[in-house]
């Protein structure tokens, strides 16, 4: 499954929602106990007719959320006087722009400035948590997601990304509890289901992983990541025919979307 047990996002939106990026932009995290190759490596093997279910390769990875637009409207910082909340909005928007450019350390600084000006904006804590996550500062990311949830208990993406951070820290049972909280609010959120399935896989609970990936595929039958990871789970419990079927479909989808020379 993708690199970290989830798909993690970077900035808050007007109302938290899941935004999916292309499969090639997803981070992936190794699934402990499995030996599945990256999708690119798998594709090469499949294209030359080497679809072997026990193909030795580097581990696959888990999915992250895509950046979301800031929940605060644009504000010109030079408009004085302004409230602390308005100036926090300015720094939040600058942080969002930096995050979308991949400048996570600079984005983290801007989100911190926004928090110092106004510490009751759940979206800003969420966004800084995403920047921390990208910087692999998982403990700091967890603290930020926790604060975002305290300020907004129904913030689904903060709950989901809290699960991602807990998973990255090896606290898998707590991660599953966080995904459960998110799923209680949005039972069919594909981001939550995918990442929870990934963590079930890390815990070797392959039946539960298959159940979550199946729900993701019910929502999007062409989700290559979910197909590959469900195939890995099927293989782990000896269901090679179903694993082969998923791998073959993943192969056809990858070849179909491969850029023409």
The CATH number for 113's domain is 1.25.40.10
**Residue at 261 is within a domain:** no
pLDDT digits (tens, 9 = 90+) for 156-203: 999 999 999 999 999 999 999 999 999 999 999 999 999 999 999 999
Cα separation values, 41 from 38, 47, 50, 60, 141, Å = 5, 10, 11, 10, 31
Q: Cα dihedral angle (148, 185, 229, 165), rounded to 10 degrees? A: 20
How much is the pLDDT for 69? 54
Residue 75 CA to residue 97 CA, distance in Å, equals 14
How much is the pLDDT for 119? 87
Q: Which residue range(s) make up the domain with 57? A: 2-256
Tell me which of 61 and 149 has the higher pLDDT.
149
**Residue at 15 is within a domain:** yes
How much is the pLDDT for 77? 45
pTM over 0.85: no
What region, left, alpha or beta, does residue 126 occupy, with left being phi > 0 and alpha being psi -120 to 50 degrees? alpha
How much is the pLDDT for 162? 97
pLDDT digits (tens, 9 = 90+) for 114-130: 999 988 999 999 999 99
Other Cβ atoms less than 10 A from the Cβ of 143: the count is: 17
How much is the pLDDT for 169? 96
Number of compact structural domains in the chain = 1
Buried b (16+ CB within 10 A) or exposed e, 35-62: ebbebeebbebbeeeeeeeeeeeebbbb
């Amino acid at each position: 499954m993708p690199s970290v047990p989830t798909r993690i996002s970077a900035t808050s939106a007007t109302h938290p929602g899941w935004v999916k990026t292309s499969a090639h932009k997803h981070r992936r995290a190794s699934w402990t106990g499995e030996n599945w190759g990256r999708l690119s490596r798998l594709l090469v093997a499949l294209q030359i007719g080497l679809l072997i279910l026990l193909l030795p390769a580097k581990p696959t990875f888990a999915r992250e959320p895509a950046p979301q637009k800031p929940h605060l409207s644009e504000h010109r910082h030079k408009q004085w006087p302004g409230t602390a909340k308005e100036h926090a909005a300015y720094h939040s928007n600058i942080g969002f722009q930096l995050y979308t450019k991949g400048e996570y350390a600079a984005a983290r600084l801007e989100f911190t400035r926004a928090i110092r000006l106004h510490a009751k904006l759940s979206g800003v804590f969420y966004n800084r948590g995403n920047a921390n996550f990208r910087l692999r500062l998982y403990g700091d990311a967890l603290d930020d997601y926790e604060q975002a949830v305290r300020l907004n208990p129904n913030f689904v993406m903060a709950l989901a990304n809290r699960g991602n951070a807990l998973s990255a820290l090896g606290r898998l049972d707590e991660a599953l509890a966080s995904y459960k909280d998110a799923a209680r609010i949005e039972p069919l959120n594909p981001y939550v289901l995918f990442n929870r399935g990934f963590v079930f896989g890390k815990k070797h609970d392959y039946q539960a992983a298959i159940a979550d990936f199946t729900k993701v595929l019910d929502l999007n039958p062409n989700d290559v990541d979910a197909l590959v990871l469900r195939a890995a789970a099927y293989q782990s419990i000896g269901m090679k025919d179903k694993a082969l079927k998923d791998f073959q479909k993943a192969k056809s989808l990858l070849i179909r979307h491969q850029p023409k020379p």
